[in-house]
Amino acid sequence: MEAENEIRSKRYAADISSIREAQVRINSFIHKTPVLTSETLNSLAGRGLFFKCECFQKGISTDHVSKISGNHAAALSLAAKLRGIPAYIVIPENAPRCKVENVIRYGGQVIWSRATMQSREDIATRVLQETGAVLLHPYNDGRIISGQGTVSLELLEQAPQIDTIMVPISGGGLISGVALAAKSINPSIRVFAAEPKGANDAAQSKNAGRIITLPETNTIADGLRASLGDLTWPVVRDLVDDIIVVEDKEIIEAMKLCYEILKVAVEPSGAIGLAAVLSDSFKKNPAWKNCRNVGIVLSGGNVDLGVLWDSLGK
Ligand SMILES: Cc1ncc(COP(=O)(O)O)c(C=O)c1O
């Protein structure tokens, strides 16, 4: 209760009440995703691992005009379809094909932009003016953060022995929700972000004590290229214990392990949590030795099969 009150007093964009309310609102529309374990992966990591399979979620992830993040865009398309309203999705021309196909499958109307943030912003602004739609940001929005926080509530209910949670980070919505919920329930839980080296703006931001944006990013984890927002940064700054940065080759190895051992197809951005837990910077850090039971959010399963085979061959 004390932790809950302390977090509440900071007035972040979401809190345990908004997360619990979101859970009630979305409950009948989503799957309760399973938590998988594997003795083989436990021995590789030297700890207990609990894989929260959000890659099995409807709409493919926990999340109108949406500026793609692909998984957010598919989820919004599905939500709009259920409400009987249109969803206009601004998608950059370099988005993975399977993410575009998911949007179309769920009835979203695809509007193409160039790959730059500026082009996405300009086209989204034009669509808003032309259609009167409302912009739903993929992470810098208290409602989205609250929805993402429900992953934590479910995970801690399914595996109460968890003392650590590892979460992929892009714009920081998912980890903000997860950290706010988990630390309100149990302030001693550690929450770590997993970030690709080629888009390590969140790690740089934590070091610098302010939001850093990168002029360009280069990583196989296409879902993790965004920068922190003004609503997610305070949560990442205050409640995320550390950011574990991994190379693309570690992400590919983690995808392989998910596929071969868990029998789950996870996209690069979704598999990065396993890569982080297996990385030397986490395993060999004496400060994290007592992280015994780690929840890993497998956040997305949108894999272009061709790209997967190419990556696995590397
Ligand atoms: C598969 C996957 N996992 C995690 C994230 C991280 O989301 P956030 O921007 O909330 O940090 C994303 C973002 O699009 C994603 O696509």
pLDDT for the residue numbered 67: 44
pLDDT for the residue numbered 71: 80
pLDDT for the residue numbered 289: 95
User: Of 104, 131, 158, which closes a domain?
Assistant: 131
> Which of 79, 208, 98 is closest to 144 using CA atoms?
79
Longest dimension (CA), the chain: 56
H or E, element range at 89: strand 88-92
Same domain, 206 and 94: no
pLDDT for the residue numbered 261: 98
What pTM was estimated for this model as a whole? 0.94
Q: Which of 71, 137, 251, 304 for a ligand 1 pocket mutation test, highest count of atoms within 8 Å of Cβ?
A: 71
Residue 43, both tokens: 């021995």
Determine contact, residues 67/275, Cβ cutoff 8 Å.
no
pLDDT for the residue numbered 60: 46
pLDDT for the residue numbered 16: 97
Determine contact, residues 13/231, Cβ cutoff 8 Å.
yes
Tell me the backbone φ, ψ of residue 309, rounded to 5 degrees: -60, -40
pLDDT for the residue numbered 295: 98
Mean pLDDT by 10 residues, the chain (314 residues): 77 96 94 96 98 85 49 89 94 88 93 88 94 92 96 98 98 98 97 98 98 93 94 98 98 96 95 98 96 97 78 68
pLDDT for the residue numbered 66: 46
Distance 127 CA to ligand 1 centre (A): 24
Separation of alpha carbons 267 and 55, rounded Å: 8
Same domain, 272 and 169: yes
pLDDT for the residue numbered 63: 37
Q: Please work out whether the CB of residue 301 comes within 6 Å of at least one atom of ligand 1.
A: no
CATH number assigned to the domain comprising residue 105: 3.40.50.1100
Distance 63 CA to ligand 1 centre (A): 10
pLDDT for the residue numbered 198: 98
For residue 110, being part of any structural domain is answered with yes
Same domain, 199 and 285: yes
Same domain, 55 and 68: no
H or E, element range at 121: helix 117-131
Same domain, 113 and 160: no
Determine contact, residues 224/256, Cβ cutoff 8 Å.
no
Q: Which domain holds residue 76?
A: 64-131
For residue 88, being part of any structural domain is answered with yes
How far CA 251 is from CA of 199, 239, 247, 258, in Å, comes to 13, 25, 7, 11
**Distance between terminal CA atoms of the chain?**
49
For residue 71, being part of any structural domain is answered with yes
* ∠ CA 40-257-296, rounded to 5°: 80
Q: Taken in order 182, 183, 189, 191, is the CA torsion positive or negative?
A: positive
Q: Which residues pair with 246 in a beta bridge?
A: 196
Residue nearest to atom 10 of ligand 1 (CA): 173
pLDDT for the residue numbered 61: 42
pLDDT for the residue numbered 260: 96
CA–chain centroid gap for 233, Å, is: 15
For residue 136, being part of any structural domain is answered with no
Closest ligand 1 atom, residue 300 Cα: 1
Radius of gyration of the chain (CA): 18
**Domain count across the chain:** 2
> Which of 108, 121, 42 is closest to 293 using CA atoms?
42
pLDDT for the residue numbered 175: 98
Burial class of residue 32 (count of CB atoms within 10 Å of its CB; 0-12, 13-18, 19+): exposed
